[in-house]
Structure 1
Amino acid sequence: MTAIPTDAELARSLDGDFTSSHAEVNGVRLHYVSGGSGAPLVLLGGWPQTWWQFHRIMPDLARNYHVIAVDIRGMGGSEKPGSGYDKRTMAADIRALVRHLGYDSVNITGHDIGAMVAYAFAANHPDAVRKLALVDVAHPDGNWESFTLLPGPGQKPNREEGMTLAIDSVFLWWFAFNQIEGLPERLLAGRERILIDWLIHYQSKDPSRIGERDRDIYAHAYSTPEAVRAGNAWYQTFTRDIADERGYAPVSAPLLGLGASGNYRVLNTVLPSKGHNVRVVEIPDSGHYIPEENPQAVIEHLTAFFQ
């Protein structure tokens, strides 16, 4: 693996005068990259990536918004404490960061695990959210309790040539793998890039859209036992997250869902009951990693939604 740029170097490489910073909030040290001017727009990423997953959309969004891409608790340049990985607590992290930055309310977008945190932010801090966008994933709810350990009809543990990317054909084995305490960090030691490559190949429509440098950045971010443990902890709290979600009222803020392929169908079924003003859009020509696979569509939809 070649030398990996620091977060500060990566931030400076983006158009929009981006800077890398840290803040001590809610008992945890969070890393974030910010730039641009205008209304605040918070971006929260997911596993197994970092804030860098938004690098293709940040410069364009920064023309109209103060973009704040956050490494959530346990991710990248943020602290990796031993607890606090339920999405309600992680939403409280973001609420505290928003206050630290001098804002009463923000627009917020989350992808993957970040989408779960973004929804928990809107559900628990309705006064702090202007509009909410969820990319390809919803918050864990009772439906997740029916996930099985065996592939269902049409599900395959490996992606075949020409495989249609749809949630009902994806076997989510890592949901179980990440539940195991102490083992993943030992098995993945020195092999993080293998996992990154496998996930990108399995969940991307065109894996080549996420290049070698990007993959190296993500592999480096999960190259310590602490980083693997923290990423696993986001999954190990799903039972708690499901219980918390049962107590949430539908969010009052306008809610936009962006889904690729089969995930669009899932979001279009699930999200209307999660808010009072919901719109779900299908993003074409993309797999799960939408901000990197079809950044222009994300830019256009977010810009129109948050204006």
Structure 2
Amino acid sequence: MGTNVRSDEELAASLEGDFTSEYADVNGVRLHYVTGGRGEPLFLLPGWPETWWEYRKVMPVLAERYRVVAVDIRGMGGSSRPEAGYEKKSMAADIRALAEHLGYERINIAGHGIGAMVAFAYAANHEAATKRLAIINTTHIDDSYQQFRLMPKPEDPGPHRWWLAFNIVPGFPEKALAGRYRVMVDYMLGLSLVNPDAVLPADRDVYAHAYDTPEAIRSSQAWFQAYQQDIDDFRGYGKLSVPVLGLAYGGFFDYMNRVLPACGSDVRVVEVKNTRNYMVEEQPETVAAELSAFFG
């Protein structure tokens, strides 16, 4: 991994527009976020193994219409790594506290991966504080996750999600990956990028640097280790009344188009072409256009 990884302040300043890297102490956690633009608040929550930097290609476009707030969720990047609180319902409370800290009663919110689960939990638990919700290529974890095979059959459709089990093993991943997390970053991106150059080596270094310490790996594991509680919480959520947009690639579109509409009363799912999991970085023009059209 490169030794000259730029700081969050330098990364924020490198974006077109007036973006700043900031921190807030809320709900027992210190959250790092990058903000810029004017208009209604639009919070962006990243996935694993990424940081707020995942949204670098869409933030300048979205900032022309919204006050963009890209957040490192609890345990990620520049945010703190407390011992507990990694249930998505608790992490949603972090975002609610940050929104209040910034003076926002209602926000638009979008998330990818783990961040999508937090964004969904935000809308489910703080519906009056949610204007619209966008879910990118992930649904909130439910009982179906417990049906994934440890040993897949040859006919089982890929990908084999071995990392879900890997990340709930206590104590081992940080021993295996500390100081060499670029291996995991490259593996996950290699699995899901149609165009590998959509995430350049310098960007991969940013992600690897953010996850490279034992503490960073421990806190990222905690997102996965909370999954059973997340499933239990999800069972208690009613249908969302806020408008919901789902963005999914071809291999996941059919599943999301079946599952997400059952979660809300106003749901639309859009297929994004020529991409897989990391569509925010691989198809930023499409993602920015869909989000802008949806959030209005």
TM interval, shorter chain, is over 0.9
Give the 3-state SS of the residue equivalent to 2:237 in structure 1.
coil
User: Of the candidates 195, 203, 220, which is equivalent to residue 192 of structure 2?
Assistant: 203
How far did residue 250 of structure 1 move? 1.0
Assess, with a 3 A threshold, how the Cα gap between structure 1 residues 57 and 84 changes in structure 2: closer, same or farther.
same
Which residue does the alignment assign to 2:285? 296
CA contact (8 A) 2:45 2:112 kept: yes
In 1, Cα distance between the equivalents of 2:11 and 2:34? 9
Which residue does the alignment assign to 1:70? 71
Which residue does the alignment assign to 2:100? 99
Which residue does the alignment assign to 1:261? 250
In 1, Cα distance between the equivalents of 2:50 and 2:97? 23
CA contact (8 A) 2:117 2:138 kept: yes
One-letter amino acid of the structure 2 residue matched with residue 90 of structure 1: M
How far did residue 2 of structure 1 move? 3.6
CA contact (8 A) 2:178 2:217 kept: no
In 1, Cα distance between the equivalents of 2:17 and 2:66? 10
How far did residue 23 of structure 1 move? 0.3
Give the 3-state SS of the residue equivalent to 1:151 in structure 2.
coil
Structure 1 residue 242 and structure 2 residue 231: aligned? yes
How far did residue 232 of structure 1 move? 0.6
One-letter amino acid of the structure 1 residue matched with residue 179 of structure 2: G
Q: 1:222-257 deviations in whole A, cap 9, x for unaligned?
A: 011010001111000111000000000011110000
In 2, Cα distance between the equivalents of 1:200 and 1:141? 24
How far did residue 153 of structure 1 move? 3.2
With the length of structure 2 as denominator, give the TM-score of the two structures: 0.98
Which residue does the alignment assign to 1:287? 276
One-letter amino acid of the structure 2 residue matched with residue 177 of structure 1: F
How far did residue 152 of structure 1 move? 3.3
Structure 1 residue 192 and structure 2 residue 181: aligned? yes
With the length of structure 1 as denominator, give the TM-score of the two structures: 0.95
Query: What pairs up with 1:54-65 in 2 under 5 angstroms?
Result: 54-65=55-66
How far did residue 262 of structure 1 move? 1.2
CA contact (8 A) 2:42 2:107 kept: yes
In 2, Cα distance between the equivalents of 1:153 and 1:243? 31
- Identical-residue share of aligned pairs (%): 52
One-letter amino acid of the structure 2 residue matched with residue 153 of structure 1: P
Give the 3-state SS of the residue equivalent to 1:5 in structure 2.
coil
Give the 3-state SS of the residue equivalent to 1:169 in structure 2.
coil
One-letter amino acid of the structure 1 residue matched with residue 147 of structure 2: S
Give the 3-state SS of the residue equivalent to 1:97 in structure 2.
helix
In 1, Cα distance between the equivalents of 2:256 and 2:154? 21
In 1, Cα distance between the equivalents of 2:234 and 2:138? 14
In structure 2, stretches of 5+ residues that fail to align are none
Give the 3-state SS of the residue equivalent to 2:138 in structure 1.
coil
How far did residue 154 of structure 1 move? 3.9
How far did residue 60 of structure 1 move? 0.3
The CA RMSD measured in Å over matched residues stands at: 0.8
User: Of the candidates 214, 221, 228, which is equivalent to residue 225 of structure 1?
Assistant: 214
User: Of the candidates 147, 154, 161, which is equivalent to residue 172 of structure 1?
Assistant: 161
Q: 1:255-297 deviations in whole A, cap 9, x for unaligned?
A: 0000012111111011010011000000001110010000000
In structure 1, stretches of 5+ residues that fail to align are 156-167
One-letter amino acid of the structure 2 residue matched with residue 30 of structure 1: L
One-letter amino acid of the structure 1 residue matched with residue 284 of structure 2: P
Q: 1:12-69 deviations in whole A, cap 9, x for unaligned?
A: 0011200000000001000000000000000000110000000000000000000000
How far did residue 208 of structure 1 move? 1.9
Which residue does the alignment assign to 1:4? 5
In 2, Cα distance between the equivalents of 1:183 and 1:42? 33
Which residue does the alignment assign to 1:85? 86
Which residue does the alignment assign to 1:119? 120
In 1, Cα distance between the equivalents of 2:93 and 2:154? 39
In 1, Cα distance between the equivalents of 2:240 and 2:100? 21
Q: 1:157-202 deviations in whole A, cap 9, x for unaligned?
A: xxxxxxxxxxx32110000000011110000022111111111111
In 2, Cα distance between the equivalents of 1:143 and 1:5? 39
How many positions carry a matched residue from both structures? 295
Which residue does the alignment assign to 1:183? 172
